[in-house]
Amino acid sequence: MKLLITGGSGLIGSAIQKIHKSYNYEFIFLSSKDCNLEDFKETDILFNNIKPDYVIHLAACVGGLFKNLKYKVDMLEKNVMINNNVLKCSHKYNVKKVISCLSTCIFPDKTSYPINENMLHNGPPHNSNNAYAYAKRLLEIQSIAYQEQYNKNFICVIPTNIYGPNDNFSLEDGHCIPSLIHRCYIAKREGTPFKVLGTGKPLRQFIYSEDLAILILWVLEKYNKRDSIILSVNKEDEVSINDIVKQISISYDYDNIKYDKSYSDGQYKKTADNNKLRKIYGKLKFTKIDEGIKNTVDWFIKNYDGCRK
């Protein structure tokens, strides 16, 4: 059975690569170098050549808070094109199951907490990432449309904030943890303050990439429903950005920290409810945040010259 992973060289794709030998599939890890998924003709040729039985759709135009604010047209249009092409070709070539990856950051800005799967479309997302959010929400709507019109097994998973080795550690476009890891690396090397943008007060749930990889493959093999499911650490595992900064500084043994409070914090919290997952999956074991950050810092230092940054 052929399993195509779009975004196969990214954060989650790399985590699946690390564990894939434990699973009985012919894994095909697709990177942007192999195919421009924004182009339908290229995508169609790829699917025709591979004819995958299953697809885990991870490819996306992604970034942190400041990329979402600065490049809204890109975040909207590129993601809409990628998602449309992947689902359209999955339908055309009779893919048995497609798992598409959303994010809890696309939930409504004004909502009650914790958020669950039924609340995704209950209001507009936070203005800081609305373009990306609407593109991802449309991916769920399109998946459901294929279910209803063609009886396709196209579903979505909704992870919380992901971190780990092989992330994009860009200072400008990276997500919170990898950007902070890179920033602290430079600060220690140059003997300057470890600069943190914002107050550090926002709260987030972070899931280690390898934990998420295990859960996504569980969804492929064991999750038989067709409604979306949140893949998240527990509510009590929510931490502040301040907590993350402290763990990174401990990993580097460098505590010269300076907050620049002139920068936006973005949404204060996005607490997700993983009750649905826990009821079906059973007892969940997650990598502790201090262990995960230490692993990621160590990987970044070791791979500094060649990693995405």
pLDDT band at 115 (very low <50, low <70, confident <90, very high): very high
Give yes or no for residue 38 having a pLDDT over 90: yes
- Of 56-60, 98-102, 153-157, 264-268, the poorest mean pLDDT is in 264-268
pLDDT at 62: 80
Mean pLDDT of 180-202: 94
88: its two tokens: 């359209």
pLDDT at 139: 98
The percentage of residues in the chain with a pLDDT greater than 90, rounded to a whole number, is: 83
Q: What CATH number does the domain located at 2-163+206-235 have?
A: 3.40.50.720
**Is the whole-model pTM more than 0.85?**
yes
| Biggest distance spanned by C-alpha atoms of the chain | 60
| Cis, peptide link before residue 114, omega less than 30° from 0 | yes
Give yes or no for residue 66 having a pLDDT over 70: no
DSSP state of 21: G
**Domain segments of the chain as ranges:** 2-163+206-235
pLDDT at 282: 84
221-251 exposure pattern, b = at least 16 Cβ within 10 A, e = fewer: eebeebebbbbbbeeebbeebbbbbbbbbeb
What does the pLDDT look like over 80-97, one tens digit per residue?
Answer: 999 999 999 999 999 999
The percentage of residues in the chain with a pLDDT greater than 70, rounded to a whole number, is: 99
- Scanning the structure block, which residue is given the tokens 């920290």? 257
Phi then psi dihedrals of residue 5, to 5 deg: -110, 105
Length of the chain: 309
Question: Could you give the C-alpha distances from 298 to 115, 129, 220, 272, 294, in angstroms and in order?
Answer: 33, 30, 31, 29, 6
Catalytic residue annotation: 132
Cβ within 8 Å of residue 156, ≥6 positions away = 99, 100, 101, 102, 139, 140, 143, 228, 229
What does the pLDDT look like over 218-268, one tens digit per residue?
Answer: 999 999 999 999 999 998 899 999 999 999 999 999 999 999 998 877 778
